[in-house]
Each structure stands twice: as structure tokens, then as C-alpha cells.
Chain A
Amino acid sequence: MKVQFNNVSLSFGGVTALHQIDLSLSEPRIAVIGDNGSGKSTLARLVNGLLLPDEGHVTVDGLDTRTEAPEVRRRVGFLFQNPDNQIIMPTVSEDVAFGLKNKRISSEEVADRVDEVLKRFNLFSLRNRSAHLLSGGEKQLLALAGVMVMSPALLVLDEPTTLLDRRNARIVTQMILDLDVNIILVTHHVELLEEFERVIVLEDGRVVCDGPCADTVAFYMENCT
């Protein structure tokens, strides 16, 4: 799975969010860090075509997000910061089944795959519960289950632990690290990045450091906070 940013720029209302970004992302675990407003979330949203660049191109396995967005989204799952914005259906099992039902596969297969994913994320006992009455950590696990049931090859996570307490953040992080897919994680929590092969530091819409975890986190701590 290879994500390519070719000379990508994007502005919102005259304010530049990303400025001429060139990146080639193929490592299994990549993290993007930076202060608020540095362009991290914008970069993440460009990967599955939720945003399109003003200039340049973003490609996923050679597919341009501008012209082949549905195909890109079949490969790229996206986890939002606030699970309340991601959970669509009222009960836990209905929400996990949502994406599968859009694919129009048989109801038996949907039920099997939903049960399997719910067990994997320790949500099976909550399957008939109202999704909006779950705790913050459970909601984020449900949102993650809803993405993973679609078997994406790449998972983009936009600050998935920011709204969680330390205990739930640890549980969700461990679940994420145990996943068998490529990951691009946008986060403020640099202490979670030990197992990441590559860390990219953004500042004012530009890549200011890019490399192995230890070096880039040290750079970030010294220069950007």
C-alpha cells in the first residue's frame, strides 16, 4: 500500500493549510504529529478523498483521490477524532453492519462478519445496546470496529485518543497497534509512537521533520512545543 503526495497544496478561505507537500508513504506504521493548526487533520483527510487538493495530486496505490475516490475508499478506512460523529446507527451491531449493508452482501455473511468483529473488539456483549449510551472508550472501539469490518488495507486515524481518558486511550491504542493493517496515525500523544517506523512533523502546513520515531519526536519536543 503506497500513498503518494505530489506537490500538494490546500487552502481554506485564503489560509494555507498545506503547502507543496511531497511525500511517499509506504511504511506499515506512520505517525503525523504537530501543533494545532499545523495541517495534520487536513493531510489525513486528503488520503481518502474527504478533501481534495487545490494543487497537486494524492494517489493511493496509483489511484487518484480526485478521480477514483470510491475505489480509494475501498482501500482506506478512516477513524475520526469524535466517535459520535462516526456512529450512524442506533445500536452497536447495526452500526458495525452499516458499511457491509451498503455493499449489499447476504444478511448471513453480514451477521457473521459483524459478530466476528464485535468479539475481536470486546463489544459482543454490548451488541444490542444503544450506541450513544456507551462510554467514550467503547464508542471509539465501536467506531473502529465499524471501519475494520470493511477490511481496509490502510487505516487513517485522526487523533483517535484525544477525547479519551488515559485508561481508555491505552485500551484503544493497544487495539490499534494490534491491527494487521497499514496505519497512518495523526496524534498529539507522542508517547504512543514508540512502535512506529516513521514519524512526520508538520508545522504551518509544511513538513519540517521526517524520519525514524526517536529522531523526529526529539526534534518535535525541542522545536515545536
Chain B
Amino acid sequence: MIGYYIPGDSFIHRAPAGFKLFFLAAMGLASFSLDIGVYFGIFMILAVLMCWIVGLDWRTLKRILKPVALVLLAIFLAHLFVGDFFSAIAAVIRILTVILFATLVTVSTHMDDMIEVFKLVARPLEPFGVKPRKLAFLLSLTIRLIPAIFEILAEVREAQKSRGLERSVFAVIVPFMVRALKKADALGDALTSRRFEES
């Protein structure tokens, strides 16, 4: 879902992109430096409330969290193994909170606005030969492509499941890599034919 845009007119949609990115960075930093009680009490409620305000419903949220559920489980088990139950819960909530805030920013911000912010940030690099617009666009494109990559992975897994190969890592990874590379190739052609080189 990261990379999709949900149209709306909420105050989160209207907030400047730079402020939202700063807010995301601040929340990320706070999530990893504050006490667990604060998460449950404030951050988690804030994240869920903001999800509701931008129009993210429960079904959509489930779709967002499904691909990362296994990663969260692995993190939980790893922390359980080296620490205790509460540190494992804290680690999962930290990551979950940041994922929710990151999703909020991307679904409520036009990519053009995000590009403008990245351009401003990259401007000091201009004397070193960096083109701020190109760099900003590539950063934004990376965010945009995350759902496309997840879609490819889901399609490959579904196809291999129908052949009874869902447990074979090799059977999923190889076609996934081939399709992801083909997608990158096609995107390169599209950028060329839409004259990105002139920017």
C-alpha cells in the first residue's frame, strides 16, 4: 500500500509534505527512544486515529500489514530468544508504529509535493554534480514501486501455490527476480520514451 495515494481533503492531506516527512522522522526517532508505555498510550492511538482520518479502512490496513506480518513475527521471536516477552512486544510495536506513520504520509501526499521536498533537501548537493530533480524523482519512484514489487511477489506466490510449490523458496525467488528485472526494464523504456532524460 505504501506508494498508493488515497484522495481526500483531511487536514493530514492538506498539511505540507515537508512537515509530514519531518513528522515521520520525528515519530520514527521517538518510537525508538521512548518508553513502551508511551507507545500504547499515545503513538499507537495517534497512528490508528490518523489512519481513520485519511480514509484507511480496516480491510486496507490488513492488506498493508499482511506482507510484513512474517517479518514482525521473526523480530518478535528473535527478541524473545535474546531478551524477554516485553522487549519483544516493544520491538514489534516500534516497527508497526513507524510502518503506520510511513503509510499515512505516502497515502496522503501527492508525489509531486514529495519531489519538491526532496529537491530542496538535495539542493546543497548541486555543486557536486547532483541533479536535485532527478535525485528527488528517483527517491519518490522508489517509494512508488514498493506496492508494485509486492504485487509481483503475491502473483508469483499464488502461481507457485497452484502448482504445490509454495514452500519452495527457489520456485518463488527465481520467477520473482525475473519479473522484477523485466519490470525495471519496462520502466526504463517508459522513462526514456516519456523524455525523462531531458529533465
Assess A103 versus B198: contact at CB under 8 Å? Given A89-B111, A90-B144, A130-B5.
yes
The prevalent SS among residues of B at the interface is helix
Number of interface residues, chain B, beta carbon within 8 A: 26
Of the candidates A45, A73, A78, A85, the one whose C-beta lies within 8 Å of that of B187 is A85
Of the candidates B144, B192, B195, the one whose C-beta lies within 8 Å of that of A50 is B192
Of the candidates A70, A88, A129, A133, the one whose C-beta lies within 8 Å of that of B191 is A88
- A123 at the B interface (CB under 8 A): no
- Whole-angstrom distance between the alpha carbons of A82 and B187 in the complex? 11
A-side interface size class: 20 to 34
Task: Write out the residue numbers on chain B whose beta carbons fall within 8 Å of the beta carbon of A128.
Answer: 7
B193 engages A73 (CB within 8 Å): yes
Closest to A90 in B: B5
Task: Write out the residue numbers on chain A whose beta carbons fall within 8 Å of the beta carbon of B32.
Answer: none
Q: Which of A22-30, A92-100, A162-170 contacts B (4 or more CB under 8 A)?
A: A92-100
Closest to A89 in B: B111
A50 engages B194 (CB within 8 Å): no
B195 engages A133 (CB within 8 Å): no
- A74 at the B interface (CB under 8 A): yes
- Whole-angstrom distance between the alpha carbons of A82 and B195 in the complex? 18
A91 engages B110 (CB within 8 Å): yes
Min CB distance A224 to B, Å, is 27
- Whole-angstrom distance between the alpha carbons of A160 and B93 in the complex? 46
Assess A88 versus B193: contact at CB under 8 Å? Given A80-B186, A94-B112, A102-B199.
no
Task: Give the 8 A-B residue pairs with the shortest CB-CB distance, closest first.
Answer: A85-B186, A102-B199, A78-B193, A128-B7, A90-B5, A86-B190, A99-B194, A130-B5
Task: Give chain A's interface residues, CB within 8 Å of chain B.
Answer: 45, 48, 50, 70, 73-74, 77-78, 80, 82, 84-86, 88-91, 94, 97-99, 101-104, 128-130, 132-133, 146-147, 150
